[in-house]
Each structure stands twice: as C-alpha cells, then as structure tokens.
Amino acid sequence: MHNAPTVEPLLTPAEVATIFRVDPKTVTRWAKAGKLTSIRTLGGHRRYKESEVRALLSGSTQQKSGE
C-alpha cells in the first residue's frame, strides 16, 4: 500500500451548500468574502475544508434548544 501524505478532507461547493441549506453561489460568496477558506483546484473550482465547515456549524453561534 502506498504511503499517502497527510490530507485535509475537502468538500465540494454543493456539499457545503447542502450542509448550510443555501445556494452553492452563496458558498462562493462566503469564500470571496474570506469567511471560508477556499482551496482551488487546478481548474479554478473551489474546495472547502470539512474541518472548518464543521467548526462553523458548532462553534460560531450558540445553538439553543429552540432556535
């Protein structure tokens, strides 16, 4: 088996959009605004760190039991 280097799990724009229940275009705007760390493919498409997305899901705002 090959020795795979350390890699960060990445998400596609559609994945992030589905998670946040928004349009993929909105995710792109977040990346442009610097709110999300975007890694570009060699073709220019963006990939997002899964770790950062999950961090934003549970670490940004406090979630209440009825919100």
Partner DNA sequence: TAGTAGTGGGGTAATTGGGGGT
Partner DNA sequence: CATGTCCCAATTACCCCACTAC
Residues that bind a copy of itself in the complex, under the rule CB under 8 A: 2-5, 7, 9-12, 15, 18-22, 26, 29-43, 47, 50, 54, 56-57, 59, 63-67
Q: Kindly report the CA angle at 40 between 50 and 53, in degrees rounded to 5?
A: 20
| Residue closer to DNA, measured from CB, 26 or 37 | 26
Task: List the structure tokens of 63.
Answer: 């979630």
55 binds, among a copy of itself, DNA, none (CB under 5 to 8 A by kind): none
39 binds, among a copy of itself, DNA, none (CB under 5 to 8 A by kind): a copy of itself
Q: Do residues 16 and 53 make contact, with C-beta atoms less than 8 angstroms apart?
A: yes
Note the maximum CA span of the chain. Answer: 49
